Structure 1
Amino acid sequence: MQYEGVLTKMQTEAGSPIQYYLVFENSFLNMNQLLGKDIDINFMGFQCLNCNKKKKIYRQGFCYDCFYSSASAGDWIMRPELSTAHLGIADRDLEYETKVQLQPHVVYLAAASDMKVGVTRKTQVPTRWIDQGASWAAPLVEVPNRYLAGITEVALKGHFSDKINWKKMLLNEVNEIDLLSKRNEIRSLLPEEVQQYFDTTPEKLYTLDYPVLQYPKKVSASLNLTTTPNYAGKLAGIKGQYLLFVDGTVFNVRSYEGFVVQINV
């Protein structure tokens, strides 16, 4: 069967294992059903996720102009501590920023390779952890806006990484870490403004189960659609936003948002 459309990050459904879907305008693919099967991926062109024009993608699924003008691509997206909606100050569009920034956010600990600290909107639990390929995750604090989450992450980054070693994550080389014990150790490192939001009740540890038939012994290549517009391989697993193939090739779907593809299965 043949599917064609604009790539966006795979939609997920929590479960054991997690269910993954590629969703196009007029069709969708349950990627779990393709495990062990051959897939052809063909790059057809570009379509900006913001303006829908067929312009070359610059970053995050946006063309150059939209990346520097859209409210959904402001610096505060990647750096929550730059959020200013709680002060009534706009970055690009105060109405949009108020809607996104002034809602509950969770600062969390996760183990995808080594332990990391991160920020997500409460509505994105556990989606954010799935997208990162975390094996385990535990909320640290829940705060009422993105700014407080951001300054908490900044305070903790001085002690813990906020990055994931993506190759170790894909090889399933995850260090055994007692996240709940670490969580209690971290309380003293929280900013003063955030201390009141630390929950002293026992926290739940989330364990995430990915649909993987076999993990690669090594990551031989990360598929780049601009240099390799046509690729065929047998799907061995899905973790994070990556498709894992038997030949050691991996494909980060999220990195190619805004790319128009044709997929044959």
Structure 2
Amino acid sequence: MTYQGVLTKMESEYSEPIQYYLVFDNDFLTMNQLLNSTITIQFVKYQCLNCGLDKPIYRQGFCKSCFFDIPQAADWIMRPELSTAHLGKEDRDLAYEKKVQLQPHIVYLANSSNVKVGVTRKSQVPTRWIDQGAHEAIEIVEVPNRYLAGITEVALKDHVSDKTNWRTMLKNEIQDEDLVTWRERLKQYIPDEAKAYFIASNKETELQFPVIKYPTKPKSLNLKKTPNYTGKLVGVKGQYLIFEDDTVFNVRANEGLVVAITIN
């Protein structure tokens, strides 16, 4: 059976373990059901997630011209402290920016390879933690807009990491941490504008991933260099497919690539 479509990040459902779905325009794959199956991934062409053209993907699933034009790829996406919709100031498209920026946002701590701070829209909890491969996470601040979340993250980055080591995450070499203790330790560094939004009484969310075997030396599959790969699927964590030979494939990093997936 072969399925073909443009890659977008896997959809997920919070359960024990996490349920993953690879969704195409006219079909979808339930990835948990494919564990222990041998599958082939073949690169077919590019398809920009904005214009739909067969043009090389630059970043985030977009071709270069779209990446530097559309609001979905503006700098404030990756750097929320640059948000300006709360001031009524347009970056690329004020209507879109108001829609995304002027809604509740969460500043959180997540433990994926180490404890890190991050920002997400409240509607994306716990999806954001699943995408990062975190096995535990906790909300520490809930603010009414993206800007306040961004400046809080910037302030906390001086005292806790904001990066994930993807190899450590995939090897599952992770120490359990008391995130409530971390939250209390970092409380003093929250900016004055966001102090009133501190979440004082909540507990960690724990996440379990569908993995039979973790890689010992993960090596990333690059479909542009290896346009045809076959392997036995043994796990899904974060946005990665994990194969028995230690090959890992980051679905989200390959958004905008049209692939054919054959279940052998």
Which bracket does the TM-score occupy, shorter chain normalised?
over 0.9
Q: Give the Cα separation in 1 of the matches to 2:216 and 2:92.
A: 45
Please state if 1:228 is matched with 2:226.
Answer: yes
Which residue of the partner structure matches residue 33 of structure 1?
33
- TM-score, normalised with respect to structure 1: 0.98
Alignment of 1:103-182 (within 5 A): 103-182=103-182
Identity of aligned residues (%): 63
Q: Which amino acid aligns with 2:212?
A: L
Q: Which amino acid aligns with 2:232?
A: K
Give the CA deviation at 1:204: 2.2
Residue 26 of structure 2 aligns to a residue whose secondary structure is coil
Which residue of the partner structure matches residue 216 of structure 1?
215
- TM-score, normalised with respect to structure 2: 0.99
2:221–2:249 CA contact under 8 A, matched in 1: yes
Give the CA deviation at 1:176: 2.0
Q: Give the Cα separation in 1 of the matches to 2:189 and 2:255.
A: 36
Taking only aligned residues, the RMSD between alpha carbons, in angstroms, comes to 0.6
Which residue of the partner structure matches residue 253 of structure 2?
255
Q: Give the Cα separation in 1 of the matches to 2:156 and 2:187.
A: 10
Give the CA deviation at 1:199: 2.3
Q: Give the Cα separation in 2 of the matches to 1:145 and 1:89.
A: 14
Gaps of 5+ in 1: none
Per-residue CA distance 1:121-180 (angstroms, 9 max, x = gap): 000000000000001000000000000000000000011110001000000011221101
Q: Give the Cα separation in 2 of the matches to 1:98 and 1:199.
A: 25
Gaps of 5+ in 2: none
Q: Which amino acid aligns with 2:152?
A: T
2:139–2:199 CA contact under 8 A, matched in 1: no
Per-residue CA distance 1:49-96 (angstroms, 9 max, x = gap): 001111111110000000000010000000000000000001000000
Residue 154 of structure 2 aligns to a residue whose secondary structure is helix
Q: Which amino acid aligns with 1:245?
A: F
Which residue of the partner structure matches residue 96 of structure 1?
96
Residue 81 of structure 1 aligns to a residue whose secondary structure is helix
Q: Which amino acid aligns with 2:184?
A: N
Residue 48 of structure 1 aligns to a residue whose secondary structure is coil
Give the CA deviation at 1:185: 1.4
Q: Which amino acid aligns with 1:27?
A: D
Give the CA deviation at 1:216: 1.3
Q: Which amino acid aligns with 1:152?
A: T
Q: Give the Cα separation in 1 of the matches to 2:54 and 2:228.
A: 20
Q: Which amino acid aligns with 2:223?
A: L
Residue 162 of structure 2 aligns to a residue whose secondary structure is coil
Q: Which amino acid aligns with 2:182?
A: K
Please state if 1:190 is matched with 2:190.
Answer: yes
| Segments ≥4 residues shifted beyond 6 Å | none
